[in-house]
Amino acid sequence: RPESPRPKGPLCAGEAKRACFLHSPNFPSQSSFFLVLSPDKPLTGSRPNYAPPSTAHASDALTRRSTPRNNRPAPEPSAARERAPHHADHPSRNPPGPRGHLPFRPLLTLPMTRTNGSSAASAPGKLPRKRFYRARAHSNPLSDSHFPVPVSPDEFDLSQHYPQYFPEDNGGGEAAAAAAPRIRFADVGCGFGGLLVGLSPLFPDTLMIGMELRDKVTEYVKERILALRASNPGQYDNISVVRTNSMKYIPNYFRKAQLTKMFFLFPDPHFKEKNHRRRVISMQLLDEYAYVMEVGGIIYTITDVEELGEWMRSCLEKHPLFEAVSDEEIKADPVVKLLSSATEEGQKVARNGGQTFQAIFRRVSLQEE
């Protein structure tokens, strides 16, 4: 909008703005007029008690509006600011600003972080505390998350997860890679890692990994495993955790017929019908789970939602590559007892007196049908 000529005489910033606006070229020429407000006479009408500012104040206001910000003189320090002490040893305790703002003081000081990004909320060998790892209860598995994913199982570097089993300078080529141990157990949606910690003493020579989508929970499980290894030398070297989306990338981590056990404990129920496609057990995903499981491998599911329990059992019963495990085998399996007692969600259900629904099935081949 082009500038309009201002009325003569000292005006405050608000009066000059109104006068210029009413003399704008946007008004029709037939109705154009001037509104000249004099600071010497009070404004009558809707503002009978209007007290015009002084001439010095009005000229100072117009000067500030026309002066570039970088050329303005620094404001004079107030008496309150001159009396405020400066705390050089506490950068957060800054003196109040020119407008009397209160000094910034953080409400909570989070623990120091390591160079690799993991949290060091406790000393080495001491278990981490969950209050430093606040995370969402759910995460959308269909969203695009940004985390590294191996292109194939051969690109999955196990030396960072199991340094006792995979030294970095092992060498040996393809022969050593074929003879190296492989991951056999996978806890999909491992949560806070309770099942992994419970399974490690039962199967000390079996590599197992937890797969979790939430980054804060993954960091907690990682610190928990490192603390257990430091406080118990020679133990818990066979468990690890990785942040990934198993519903999308599980073939990127495991070869065909590699796993012997898969666990789906207390998954997100996704009650709405439109969100059933987000459930971790479905007919389409069972095809991928059957691909990475060897014949005879067992898949364990448990939930405290009856509708979800029926859903998972129905999907497993309809799939041609899975059959139900007999009750006698379930009672003799030591892993079944850990499904509800070792996990944090299972312990919460037990404290509240809730009911759980299990579905345990075995991987079979098509020739057996």
| Close Cβ partners of 248 (under 8 Å, ≥ 6 residues apart) | 141
Task: Tell whether 109 is covered by a domain.
Answer: no
pLDDT in tens, the chain (369 residues): 555 555 555 555 555 444 444 444 554 444 444 444 445 554 444 455 555 555 555 455 545 555 555 565 666 655 544 444 444 444 444 444 444 444 433 332 223 234 344 444 455 666 666 555 566 656 666 676 778 899 999 999 999 999 999 876 555 556 556 678 999 999 999 988 999 999 999 999 999 999 998 888 899 999 999 999 999 999 999 999 999 999 999 999 999 999 999 999 999 898 888 889 989 999 999 999 999 999 999 999 999 999 999 999 999 999 999 999 999 999 999 999 999 888 888 889 999 999 999 999 999 998 754
Task: Tell whether 107 is covered by a domain.
Answer: no
Whole domain around residue 301: which residue ranges? 130-368
Pairing relationship of beta strands 259-265 and 183-188 according to DSSP bridges: parallel
The torsion of the CA quartet 167, 173, 174, 178, rounded to 10 degrees, works out to -30
Q: Are residues 208 and 351 part of one domain?
A: yes
Q: Are residues 159 and 27 part of one domain?
A: no
- In angstroms and rounded to an integer, the radius of gyration of the C-alpha atoms of the chain is 35
Task: Tell whether 105 is covered by a domain.
Answer: no
Among residues 161, 189, 201, 218, the alpha carbon closest in space to that of 335 is found at 201
Task: Tell whether 316 is covered by a domain.
Answer: yes
Q: Which of 52, 68, 84 is the last residue of a domain?
A: 68
Q: Are residues 165 and 32 part of one domain?
A: no
Q: How crowded is residue 281: how many other Cβ atoms within 10 Å of its Cβ? A: 22
| 22 vs 34: CA distance, rounded Å | 7
Q: Are residues 230 and 345 part of one domain?
A: yes
Q: Are residues 137 and 62 part of one domain?
A: no
Q: Are residues 152 and 46 part of one domain?
A: no
Structural domain total, the chain: 2
Q: Work out the end-to-end distance of the chain between its first and last CA atoms, rounded to an integer number of angstroms.
A: 82
- Active-site entry in 268, 304, 327, 333: 268
Q: Are residues 135 and 58 part of one domain?
A: no
Q: Are residues 146 and 290 part of one domain?
A: yes
Q: Are 207 and 182 in contact (CB under 8 A)?
A: yes
Q: Are residues 150 and 18 part of one domain?
A: no
Amino acid identity at 76: E
Q: Are 13 and 4 in contact (CB under 8 A)?
A: no
* 304 included as an active-site residue: no
Q: Are residues 138 and 32 part of one domain?
A: no
Q: Are residues 137 and 33 part of one domain?
A: no
